[in-house]
Amino acid sequence: MKNNIFEEIKTEKFCRHDYKNAIQIGNVDHVCPLCKDLLDPLEWFFMNNFEFVDATSRKSNKKIKSHE
């Protein structure tokens, strides 16, 4: 059953919503300019009022020192 869930996730296209450049619709609602999905108002508020650090993993060629 877990394999089916992972296959669904692999086939879905995920959007890293652009909260800073969201398009305002009405008083509270905002739309992501990348995927045109309606954003959660509370989530939009938090993403715009606090500083978040991008913790995306990136491949690096740096060697890691071992503590042996």
Domain spans of the chain? 16-51
- Inform me whether the pLDDT recorded for 6 exceeds 70: no
Write the CA distances from 4 to 9, 10, 12, integer angstroms. 9, 10, 12
Look up the pTM and report it. Answer: 0.52
- Give burial (CB, 10 Å; 0-12/13-18/19+) of 13: exposed
pLDDT (tens digit per residue) in 34-65: 888 899 888 888 888 877 667 777 777 777 77
Q: What is the Cα–Cα distance from 25 to 30, expressed in whole angstroms?
A: 5
Q: Cβ distance 47 to 19 under 8 Å?
A: yes
Question: What is the reported pLDDT for 11?
Answer: 59
DSSP letter, residue 38:
E
Task: Collapse the DSSP code of 46 into the 3-class scheme (helix H, G, I; strand E, B; otherwise coil) and give the result.
Answer: helix
